[in-house]
Amino acid sequence: MPKILGNLMIRLGDRITLSGEQVWCACGDSRPKDLIIGSDSYVGFGVEIFVGTEVIVGEHVLIANHVLINGYDGHPTDPLARARGEGPGESGCGPIHIGDYAWIGSKAIILKRVKIGRGAIVASGSVVTNDVPELAIVAGNPARIVRTLERPAEWQ
């Protein structure tokens, strides 16, 4: 079972696999934050999900071990505001959406306001700061498209 912190509204689909220790956290103010994980998805050991506004994981998604899904900055960029212990404000949090059939490699980091398209692959150790198109393979820091997969014939 994951360690759940904060005012987190969790909706899980059917046949989800949660592998070992995980942390799921609602960040920022006390308003409820949404975490949705679709059916037939897998969430690996050591995954940390920090929900700034919402995190939506589609169906048939594979999230490997030690992935960080971070929709919340934690601190403001202004050094004096940080010294005063202020939060990052509205600009420091945002949604993360991971499309159906996506695969997130181990130790990848996905940051706020990112959408990962259906069937996309995020290579191990990548840092995703921008949207990833459907069926794209991204790698690196920051993650860049290295290849595009063929569209499966069964997809509409």
The token pair at 130 is: 């921008």
Domain count, the chain: 1
Q: Which residues are catalytic?
A: 75
Residues whose CB falls within 8 Å of the CB of residue 75, separated by 6 or more in sequence, listed in order: 82, 87, 88, 92
Sheet with 62-63, strands from edge to edge, namely: 17-18, 42-43, 62-63, 103-104, 121-122, 136-139, 144-148
Q: Has residue 153 been placed in a domain?
A: no
Q: Has residue 154 been placed in a domain?
A: no
**What pLDDT does residue 56 have?**
98
pTM of the model: 0.94
Taking the C-alpha atoms of residue 140 and residue 126, their distance in angstroms, rounded to an integer, is 5
Q: Has residue 94 been placed in a domain?
A: yes
Taking the C-alpha atoms of residue 42 and residue 15, their distance in angstroms, rounded to an integer, is 9
Q: Has residue 155 been placed in a domain?
A: no
Q: Has residue 12 been placed in a domain?
A: yes
- Domain containing residue 105: 3-148
- Residue 108 burial by Cβ neighbours in a 10 Å radius (0-12, 13-18, 19+): buried
- Of 68, 65, 69, the residue nearest 33 (C-alpha): 69
Taking the C-alpha atoms of residue 11 and residue 58, their distance in angstroms, rounded to an integer, is 12
- CATH code at 21? 2.160.10.10
Per-residue pLDDT of the chain (156 residues; tens, 9 = 90+): 799 999 999 999 999 999 989 999 999 888 999 999 999 999 999 999 999 999 999 999 999 999 999 999 989 889 999 999 888 888 889 999 999 999 999 999 999 999 999 999 999 999 999 999 999 999 999 999 999 999 999 887
Please check whether residue 123 is in contact with residue 137, taking contact to mean a CB–CB distance below 8 angstroms: yes
Residue type, 150: E
